[in-house]
Structure 1
Amino acid sequence: MTRVADDSKGGLGETVRVVIHALLIAVVIRTFLFQPFNIPSGSMKDTLLVGDYLFVSKFSYGYSRYSLPFSPDLFQGRVFGSVPTRGDVVVFRLPKEPDVDYIKRVIGLPGDKIQVIGGQVHINGVPVARQRVDDFVETEEGRETRTRRFRETLPNGVSYTTLDLYENGFYDNTPVYDVPPGHVFVMGDNRDNSTDSRVLSQVGPIPLDHLIGRAQILFFSLEEGERAWAFWRWPWSIRWSRFGSLVR
């Protein structure tokens, strides 16, 4: 007797296998290659804006427990670890709250001495080049706001813009910070609106083990206050010009 295959059961089984394989691939990519993050605050303006979505490369500095989903305490240190380049924009876990993700720019490397004097960063006693450029302009509810903007260039040539909201802001003049071995010193580009390594009571220097990865590329961006699920507003709420922008 010839048996007839049940195409419906075969089709269902194949669909389940495809879904499982896709999920496994997604888990591997998210764990070892790239993880998506979104920007909820303005501490990195104007490099990163509220509503930006970006991919972070998890292989850039090797892997630690924080590279894995749920951060299981399986091992200490980093596997294939390396120190970030000065100027990298990095995602890390806050030492005092290891379940919280932060994103900032690496300013100081292990052994450096960092100080801010009159709003200008000094690395090992040498002021970082800082040039006034055009204002950063935002429009909210029809009202235009202008913020002073500077181009900062680190000793290794990495250049980016920073915002200066206030003259003589609280952290425009600081003591000298010694960056311990195995740590980096991070700062937000929006200097007067960033809780970063200058705030020793909340952040301080970041252990290399707490790094998740390097911010690489924007893949989506919405105007501040918009919701990603409100797809019917996308034609007007998406910042189309930011798609595919590299994070520098």
Structure 2
Amino acid sequence: MRRQQSLLEVFQSYTNWEEVDLESLWSNTQATLYMTFASLIAVFIIGLVLGLLLYETSRRDGAFAKAIYYFTTLLVNVFRSIPFIILIVLLIPFTRTLLGTMTGPSAGLPALILSAAPFYARLVESGFRDVDKGVVEAAEAMGASKLEIIGKVLISESLPSLVSGITVTAISLVGYSAIAGIIGAGGLGNMAYLEGFQRGRNTVVLVATIVIVLIVFIIQAIGDIVVKRIDKR
């Protein structure tokens, strides 16, 4: 009997909807979306450039090209290896100097960008490597410029992989933004931890989690639709 009462109490602790402040939920959702998509834009640009640099320099035999490749690889691997929670702490002085604050959604952007850009760069490099070498060589033989090869061959042929990769990266950024929120960046992570967990409001934790899951599902659905439309294979 006591066990049944305990289970009932646990269930009730997750269904006390009066604990949820809808205005706070909406503002924190906006903060999470801002952190995710503002950083995603920067991650896409930086990751594309780094991925292209890795791809191009790996194909060259010169000492200078190899030096750039190994340096870029080292940089990418280092930032990919650092756990996000440690990275955001390491970047506190840089973030404070850059933005003048350590709180708010914008304060989470440097760590989000530096953690996700190397990850996406590797996905970009992999996508470029999957492009048929015969197509690239044919374009070179026809006298296409380097920019034309990059835009009309590499990016065009690997576009489904690039979109799939940025979808995976966006989903990772949603999770990272929740961690950033716990240490002051705001968003649904902040809501779940400070307004929910620390105050014993399990319903707040549950609702914040559900919204995060919905955001992830929507991002994945959009990514899948776009990939299906552009993939001509």
Which TM bucket (shorter chain)?
Answer: under 0.3
Scaled by the length of structure 2, what TM-score is found? Answer: 0.21
Q: Which has the higher contact order (CA 8 A, sep 6+)?
A: 2
Scaled by the length of structure 1, what TM-score is found? Answer: 0.20
More helix by share: 2
More strand by share: 1
